[in-house]
Amino acid sequence: MVGVVVVSHSRALARAAVTLARQMAPDPALHLGIAAGLDDDTLGTDAAAVAEAVAIADGAAGGAAGDGVVVLMDLGSAVLSAELALDLLADDALSSRVTLCPAPFVEGLVAAAVTAAGGGTRARVVAEALAGLGGKQAQLAPAAPEPPSAPEPPSPPEPGPGEVRAEFTVRGEHGLHARPAALLVRSLHGFDAAVRLRNLTTGAGPARADSLLAVATLGAAEGHRIQVVAAGPQARSAVDELLRLAGRAFDDS
């Protein structure tokens, strides 16, 4: 599993961000390291502390035989300290297993954590983190003016060979917001199936069901009808699992 390291000027900020990410990705096997602040009260970054956190994360990720480490930084000297930390690592091979990711700090960390916990590769973790603002941008983008007579959302295409299809209605009061969406994404880990979702109420999608940010772009609110389309050897099992979780509102209280 890919390890993640958080570099911040503030230790309190880093701990809070990691706590939030843990809410979305509670897998105890996921390593979320912190290299933040000069102490609990003093702001600053320390390249040596970053290098140490990276080495620990690499070991947790399996070392030379593992999946590597993704480092997220808040701003300014945190980036410089992370770059210097790579130079401080004694092992050049270790440096090659580390990616410094210029993703948004909080959204990127949550996306990275969920993707890493789901078994994503280092490249996939980085890609999901970089797309971290996608859900917020889709939700807050100015609405396009409607034509005089707005058409109904297009009908979904006919099922392809071997596809399994189903529908569920979003039950949570706040829709598929971050926590239930993260559970939805995590629930598909381990299934040999490609699953996509489409918001039949708005026409949004299709979106990859194993991507937290893709699910967020559906804008799935309470009462929206969501179509599930799965293909692969375990498509039926994956769909059944999603329907089971949807039936209990993805544990959203």
pLDDT at 242 over 80: yes
Backbone angles phi, psi at 252, to 5 degrees: -85, 120
Span 57-112, pLDDT tens digits: 999 988 888 899 999 999 888 999 999 999 998 788 899 999 999 999 999 999 99
Q: What is the pLDDT of residue 150?
A: 47
Single pTM value for the model: 0.72
In this structure, what DSSP letter does residue 157 have?
P
- Give the tokens for residue 83: 């770059």
Span 137-166, pLDDT tens digits: 766 766 555 555 444 445 545 555 578 899
Residues 6+ apart with CB under 8 A from 131: 111, 211, 213
Domains in the chain and their CATH numbers? 3-132 (3.40.50.510), 164-251 (3.30.1340.10)
Number of H helices, E strands in the chain: 10, 8
